[in-house]
Amino acid sequence: MTPNPVRDSAQAGLHALELIRGLVNAVETTPNDLQATQISAKLAELGLIIRDLQSMMDALLAENEGLKGQLEESGDWTKTRRQFRYALSVSWRYDDSGNLVDGPYCPNCLDEGRVQRLEPGAVGGAFRCSPHKALFFTRPTGPSFKR
């Protein structure tokens, strides 16, 4: 049977609380009232500490699950990111065989962790990224000088 830290910790906490309840019941039947009151107070304090620890453990377990999800997403993003290559001032998507599949994509968006296809501009070879309001050119623009 595989250990389950959540279940095991919860059971240990419940067992500790049951032990405290048993001690409280035993102390309440003792003939020494002052000593019984002191022990009961200490046991009540111990019970509060255990409940606080259980709450902290629950919060840490929730955080751990969130971090596991982020790590999984990060692995998926790393795989996605490997499909892109930067060339001619933009990013292009390639398949596993190295063949160009699609593009162009905004290299700034890729650096920020999202895939954003560029929109064609008014001039051939010009592209626009809407989120960044940026222009990209995949070929020279402007007047060409002939020699």
Tens-place pLDDT, residues 19-43: 777 777 777 777 787 877 888 788 8
- Inter-residue contact 89 to 77 (CB < 8 Å): no
46 phi/psi in degrees, rounded to 5: -65, -40
Q: Are strands 100-105 and 126-129 parallel, antiparallel or unpaired?
A: unpaired
6-20: pLDDT as tens digits: 667 777 777 877 877
Percent of residues, the chain, with pLDDT higher than 70: 89
Contact call for residues 92 and 105 (beta carbons, < 8 A): yes
pLDDT score recorded for residue 36: 77
The pLDDT of residue 25 is 76
Task: Give tens-digit pLDDT for 82-111.
Answer: 899 999 999 999 998 999 999 999 999 999
Distance CA 9, CA 61 (A): 11
**Rounded Cα–Cα distance for residues 138 and 117 (Å):** 14
